[in-house]
Amino acid sequence: MIVQALIDQGVDTVFGYPGGAVLPIYDEIFQQNAIRHILVRHEQGAVHAAEGYARSTGKPGVVLVTSGPGATNAVTGLTDALMDSIPIIVLTGQVPTFMIGSDAFQEADTVGITRPCTKHNWLVKETDALSGVIHEAFHVATQGRPGPVLVDIPKDVQFATGTYHAPKPSVSHYQPKLKGDMEEITELVAAIEKAKRPIFYTGGGVINSGPAASQLLRELVKVTGFPITSTLMGLGCYPASGENWLGMLGMHGLYQANMAMHDCDLMINIGARFDDRITGRIDAFSPKSIKAHIDIDPSSINKVIKTDIPIVGDVGHVLEDILKVWKSRGRKTNSEALAKWWAQIEEWKTVDCLKFTQKGKTIKPQHALVRLEELTKKHDRYICTEVGQHQMWAAQYLGFEDPNRWMTSGGLGTMGYGFPASIGVQMAHPDALVINVAGEASWLMNMQEMGTAVQYRLPVKQFILNNERLGMVRQWQELLHGERYSHSWSDALPDFVKLAEAFGAKGILCADPDDLDDAIMEMITHDGPVIFDCLVEKHENCFPMIPSGKAHNEMLLGEAETQGVIDSKGSVLV
Amino acid sequence: MSPLKIKKGSTSHSAYNLRPTFSDVVERHTLAVLVENEPGVLARVIGLFSGRGYNIDSLTVAEVDHTGHLSRITIVTSGTPQVIEQIKAQLGRIVSVHDVHDLTVEGASVERELAMFKVVGQGDKRVEALRLADIFRASVVDSTLESFVFEITGAPDKIDAFADLMRPLGLTDVARTGVAALSRGE
């Protein structure tokens, strides 16, 4: 029945790990061919793989794990998906209903534990209700602001026979509002017509709204001529090669993007949530602007930053209406002021905040990414990352032309996300080039998934920028803690080439900038999983950087500016 | 507003004021939250308050519509206007929540609470307790030669006032239900 419900929901791939409490479901999976099951090596890997699958396809990812430790191991992935609004359906086994509460073997209060880290969850105690709950779970996970859901299914409920209900047009009371309020939209259009220094500030909501939303955004940017920046989660909704692109904003965002956010007079937030990595010091955040905020989740509005024009609705629907209203009112913008604004932006761009010098025999991590970009940008390419400096460099130096091509852990910042995510992406796109830009420390957190990659012959490329440090931790210790590098390096790293070989995969070591291009080409052309161990400069810091407790126009651009920049008030912030 | 008449589909029929004027003054608000009567729903609501650091001054919950599987949670909470708006929006996000009403801002409402007081004493104090109970229209629901249990219904401040008066007269135990509230009129 469960497998039938998944098939009827259009599921083709399930990531999972069997155990006592889900054996009846695994028995069903064994006896069918419609759904592929991918055996991961750890339940956290299953959830991240499902996230990678979901982010790169726009479809929900499905996970199947057992009770107790199976469920608790999934918690990090669930929280990650909740923070980044990724639709995931996790099915967990549970001890039989008559044993619940008896501290049975591998029993855990799964719905209790996962309540704060799912959008919604269910414990199904009657077999007749099972199919309905699974259909409802897909509805809740994908409608409104997407998110992870969990269905906990006791083993006796799995064994019993019951009535199957096919999915039907939703009877659920959960029906989020999609259309924005026309009055607010008209007010925003009026602001667009008058704005002297406007900026689009876009986020993951554009990508979650679907490819059509990205198309509408591109049209809106083109016809208005406004500059556009994006959060980490929104990269790809507007092409990096686009004329109006300023680059990513935020703590490690580009100079021109942050300066434009600070000085703008109209900020149009589309599907972003004023995260603290974006705003920096709140009372100094874009002090002169009218702020419009388009979000499908009413609780995002006014949560952090007071909004002048709030629009609750789906990004795609709202953008369509904005375009319609703006065109019907005569397609006006304040072009004279806009030209001045662009001149100012061009001046900021000349700061060239991402410049670096590759010299000597040590590879700069930025250089490695520039070469990776150059050699892979023409491919059908998907990029995943782990969390840390490499993640920020990847966001800065790689170009994203389309949505759903960039998988990274934004809100939760989960080290160990990227490798399993790349497995999920490769499952969904078997012929694409899937690269996980990693740091060696993050990568080791879920390295067991090498077994999965090799077993399913997934040619995922693990591009490890190896500085033998927890680079971002080290950077903060340098800036904030008097260069006392407490536990931010590893003394016993594996030989990654041998590690790859131990799993039956290919390992490549590159330490010389002159060898880099050939090594990257070797990685791309190898038909199978590759661990690319790129030894990079150990003490490189990630710039630009808005230090904690500072405003957008107080960015650090390089090493020379780092002494004593964070005061005691800022140092308590993360 | 009848709890049974609240329209489903909360976001299109919402109480959220997205353009509040923010101040730093802490306000007390009474929220009526209509929820699906299912296991764990109260934990979801309480978990939201504890997880996000909001205050609960009082909370009552009971099923109000058996056929529709709906319960009504009445929450008295306090916070700055921005926090109150966040609380309402966050409550509205919970999938099992059908509707959120802020009775404090949506026109006039009535609030009632039921309380029971055990007062132990003899002689004059006992007589005085009985006399005051009469003034407050509290009824005696249990009596021994040395104690009374009074039942009183009213707005929370009336119950507070009664408790203050009973304290010197031998008040030993208090049980309060928390606030139940409805808007006035249709």
ipTM comes to 0.88
**Ranges of H-type helices in A148-302:** 155-159, 182-194, 204-208, 211-224, 255-263, 276-279
**Using a CB-CB distance cutoff of 8 angstroms, which residues of chain A are in contact with residue B90?**
299
Picking from A449, A531, A461, the residue whose alpha carbon sits closest to that of residue A40 is A449
Read off the pLDDT of residues A447-494 as tens digits, 9 standing for 90 and up.
999 999 999 999 999 999 999 999 999 999 998 888 999 999 888 999
What is the per-residue pLDDT for A202? Answer: 98
Mean local confidence (pLDDT), A6-24: 97
Q: With CB atoms and an 8 Å threshold, state whether A298 touches B8.
A: no
The mean-pLDDT minimum among B10-24, B30-44, B69-83 falls in: B10-24
Residue A22 pLDDT > 50: yes
- Closest-CA residue of chain B to A313: B11
Contact B104, B92 (CB under 8 A): no
Residue of A nearest to B44 (CA): A115
In angstroms, the separation between the Cα of residue A9 and the nearest Cα of chain B is 20
Answer yes or no: do B92 and A299 touch at CB < 8 A.
yes
Over residues A311-323, the mean pLDDT reads 97
Residue A568 confidence (pLDDT): 65
Contact A76, A84 (CB under 8 A): no
CA A115/CA A3 separation, integer angstroms: 24
Q: Do A119 and B95 count as a contact with CB atoms less than 8 A apart? A: yes
Residues of B in contact with A116 (CB under 8 A): 47, 51
Dist. CA A397–CA A381, nearest whole Å: 15
CB contacts of B19 in chain A (<8 Å) are 307, 310
Beta bridge partners of A556: A545
Which of residues A285 and B19 earns the better pLDDT score? A285
Would you call B85 and A307 a contact, using CB atoms and an 8 Å cutoff?
no
Query: Is the separation of the CB atoms in A384 and A52 below 8 Å?
Result: yes
Q: What's the pLDDT at B159?
A: 96
Which among A116, A297, A310 has CB closest to B19? A310
pLDDT at residue B6 tops 70: no
CA distance A311 to chain B (A): 9
Crossing angle of helices B81-93 and B41-51, rounded to 10°? 150
In this prediction, residues A295-314 reach a mean pLDDT of: 95
C-alpha A442/C-alpha B95 separation (Å) is 34
Query: Are the Cβ atoms of A298 and B47 closer than 8 angstroms?
Result: no
pLDDT-derived band at A106 (thresholds 50, 70, 90) equals very high
Mean pLDDT across B119-143: 95
Chain B residues closer than 8 Å to A119 by CB: 95
Answer yes or no: do B18 and A299 touch at CB < 8 A.
Answer: no
Nearest to A120 by CA among A174, A169, A71, A65: A174
CA–CA separation, A568 and A507 (whole Å): 45
Lowest-confidence segment of A184-188, A274-278, A392-396 by average pLDDT:
A274-278
Residues in chain B: 186
Distance of CA B118 to the CA centre of its chain: 21
User: Burial level of B93, CB count in 10 A (0-12/13-18/19+)?
Assistant: buried
Lowest mean pLDDT among A14-23, A163-172, A398-407, B63-72: A163-172
Whether the Cβ atoms of residue A443 and residue A71 lie closer than 8 Å to each other: no
Q: Are A306 and A285 a contacting pair, CB within 8 Å?
A: no
Q: Are B138 and B152 in contact (CB under 8 A)?
A: yes
Which of B13, B24, B38, B95 is the best mutation test for A, with the most CBs of A within 10 A? B95
Residue B122 to residue B129: CA distance in whole angstroms: 10
**Chain segment A493-548, per-residue pLDDT in tens:** 999 999 999 999 999 999 999 999 999 999 999 999 999 999 999 999 999 999 88
- φ, ψ for residue A436, nearest 5 deg: -105, 110
Has this prediction a pTM greater than 0.90?
yes
User: Does A563 have pLDDT greater than 60?
Assistant: no
Judged on CB neighbours under 10 Å (0-12, 13-18, 19+), A518 is exposed
Chain B: residue whose CA lies nearest to A125: B39
Report chain B's terminal Cα–Cα distance, integer Å: 6
* Minimal Cβ distance to A302: which of B18, B43, B44: B18
Q: Is the peptide bond before A459 cis (omega within 30 degrees of 0)?
A: no
Active site residues per annotation of A: 43, 105-106, 155, 472
From B8, B44, B86, residue closest to A303, measured CB to CB? B86
**What number of CA atoms fall less than 13 Å from residue A235's CA on the CB side?**
28
CA distance B98 to chain A (A): 7
Mean of pLDDT values over A150-159: 97
- Quote the tokens at residue A221: 């940017």
Q: For residues A321-341, give the mean pLDDT.
A: 96
Which of helix, strand or coil describes residue A53? Answer: helix
- Residues in B whose CB is inside 8 Å of some CB of A read 8-9, 11-12, 14, 16, 18-20, 22, 36, 39-40, 43-44, 47, 51, 82, 85-86, 89-90, 92-96, 98
In DSSP terms, A196 is beta-bridged to none
Percent of chain B at pLDDT exceeding 90? 83
Chain A residue with minimum CA distance to B40: A112
Higher pLDDT, B7 or B117: B117
The residue of chain A nearest to residue B7, with distances taken between CA atoms, is: A173
- Asked whether the beta carbons of residue A177 and residue B11 sit closer than 8 angstroms, the reply is yes
CA distance A320 to A212: 10
Determine whether the interchain pair B51/A116 forms a contact, defined as Cβ–Cβ distance below 8 Å: yes
Q: Position of tokens 């930025």?
A: A366
* Two tokens, residue A8: 């009827």
Mutate to test the interface with B, among A118, A178, A299 (most CBs of B within 10 A): A299
Q: Residues A431-442, buried b or exposed e (16+ Cβ, 10 A)?
A: ebbbbbbbbbbb
d(CA A248, CA A396): 7
Phi-psi region of A245 (alpha: psi -120 to 50; beta: other; left: phi over 0): beta
Closest CA to A281 of A83, A546, A481, A473: A546
Residues A311-317 have a mean pLDDT of: 97
Give how far B122 is from chain A: nearest CA, Å. Answer: 48
Cβ-nearest to B11 among A176, A307, A310: A176
Which residues from chain A sit within 8 angstroms of residue B39, using beta carbons?
123
Average pLDDT in the B57-73 region?
A: 94
Q: What pLDDT band is residue B111 in, cutting at 50, 70 and 90? A: very high
Residue whose C-alpha is closest to residue A361's, from A502, A536, A234, A178: A536
DSSP state of A494: -
Answer for the pair A14, A47: CB distance below 8 angstroms, yes or no.
Answer: no
On whether the CB atoms of residues A85 and A113 are closer than 8 A, the answer is: no
Q: Which residues of B touch A132 (CB under 8 A)?
A: none
Contact across the interface for A298 and B11, Cβ inside 8 Å: yes
Looking at beta carbons, which residues of chain B come within 8 Å of A301? Answer: 18, 89
CA B16, CA B74: separation in Å to the nearest integer? 17
Residues in chain A: 574
Interface size A-B, in CB pairs within 8 Å, comes to 58
What are the chain A neighbours of B96 within 8 Å (beta carbons)?
120
CB A547 within 8 A of CB A565: yes
**Whole-number mean pLDDT of chain A?**
95
- The predicted pLDDT at position A430 comes to 97
Angstrom distance (rounded) from CA A400 to CA A381? 9
A312 three-class SS? strand
Q: Which pLDDT belongs to residue A83?
A: 97
Q: Cβ B85–A119 below 8 Å, yes or no?
A: no
User: What are the angstrom distances between the C-alpha of A91 and each of A17, A51, A149, A158, A168?
Assistant: 11, 14, 9, 12, 21
Rounded to a whole number, what is the distance in Å from the CA of B166 to chain A's nearest CA?
A: 41
d(CA B172, CA B149): 10
Distance of alpha carbon B9 from alpha carbon A150, whole angstroms: 23
H-type alpha helices, B2-155:
41-51, 81-93, 123-135
A298 contact residues in B (CB cutoff 8 A):
11, 14, 16, 18, 89, 92-93
The 8-class DSSP code of residue A394 comes to: H
